[in-house]
Structure 1
């Protein structure tokens, strides 16, 4: 997949280019998913965005911001202490259920849309990045033809052009209520817009910034609610679209959101620490492998930029910390 490169003669701090580039929207749309959490009354709520990093119509791996699951999903579910037996949350478990009646992923391309099950998820306490496995639901599986965006393991530089891709202005409602507590028969109406925004990298913080204590960088692109978990890449002619960052937070001013001449401040978590996260080798089985091991064995696409400069250290408690270029990422 080649990147979309756009020049701006007006030298604005950021640009929303989705409406002017429908072909680009259609091209990037299949890389995105949205996470829907269902409350006790089975009403759906948008928790955030995710993006496909590997997979096929049977099963796909998706990256997102950790807080989309830990805060976005849990605040809507209100289920108490519960989780799917196959869920892997590292190192702690929180009040999130991955059961199909409580959480779904939404995938849409130019021709079809459908709900998918979230089989398992993994994150750690050190970074605002998570990975999960999603697949067609058991009953009425939807058309699912995802497009993958590999990770990029190199740090960007201040002044690099940046392109943010996420789901924006998503609305979801119910046209028919469920026939039972599992949600069977429920019909949802979903509308949303793929947002493509261009800007520049404004800061790089390998050891974290303020309360964001993980490797991250900032851009001039403001991020709106619901865009958390989307991805950011550095567009360069002749190179592959590869996600070097995941949208984690935003500290932009109100003026920056409406005036493209004013720089915003989105906080973008580096994606390379996600290579230390583990998922089951087979859904429902206890044996796990890290994404780094999967990439090294060819099970998922090798990250752009390689993995030679990334390794593990083992702490006193046996936990693994991933390192980038010899600099601990925790």
Structure 2
């Protein structure tokens, strides 16, 4: 279920479900610890749950999940519960009444806020700004909650893809040093190439072979790898990269989901939504026009008459000049029918001529 929302959950579904259960469980316990005086008038709070009672029920709730953490999840969430009930945390108490998956839903809402405020080309009033201008506005107005950074994470940079096996050379050279055999690799022979290019001829020959391989490479990039702890950081990082790449988005007029655009005039995405056999780009405009016809009766009868007259041109029963004259008159009367100076009935009778 979660993997449909984002690929992240294919790898972290256990962690997400555990956190969801733990957060929901703690929120329920906190809610049940309030007396029945309600939440609006400073209710009295008296926690009543012991550690043994907590562990027994938490483990029963998560018995089907496989944990790989060094620390018992029950211990982690019980510590959070203790922090809440002892009022030792600067964090607000969970929202009451309790809602399931409120942590994930909160991240989803944050992502929507980022996308709308920073990249959505249809966002009212702010869509005329450049991306740097929108970043400034968002940081100072729409997201000005605190001076804390959105996230702190570890970034690793490399000249080689850390997840692919690098190029290996079969170069091996045997050298005797003080009577001892030494097998020298290409890396070994070229270790100081930046300072001294007077290297073994075999190493130079092998280097030329690797240069020929390098000439086939068309991309120019270094590799960046980030260590993230949760879906919030991953989504923030994705949107940050979209900002750096000046990636623009808009909502598809058919499925109402975001898609990236290079042409701002494009209104429909290329997704095939559930229940359809063709992408939104093929069926969206047709259905939008059909809906418009249903809501605009004069346009509907004009469109029907247009097809009839165009068919006459195709069959040779009407000249192109006659058709163009008819179109001009029909559009003029369409405007009159729309504003009410010509009744729809009279317009329909005229179209039948």
TM-score of the superposed pair, with normalisation by structure 1 = 0.19
| Structure showing greater Rg | 2
Report the structure, 1 or 2, having the larger strand content.
1
Q: Which has the higher contact order (CA 8 A, sep 6+)?
A: 1
Report the structure, 1 or 2, having the larger helix content.
2
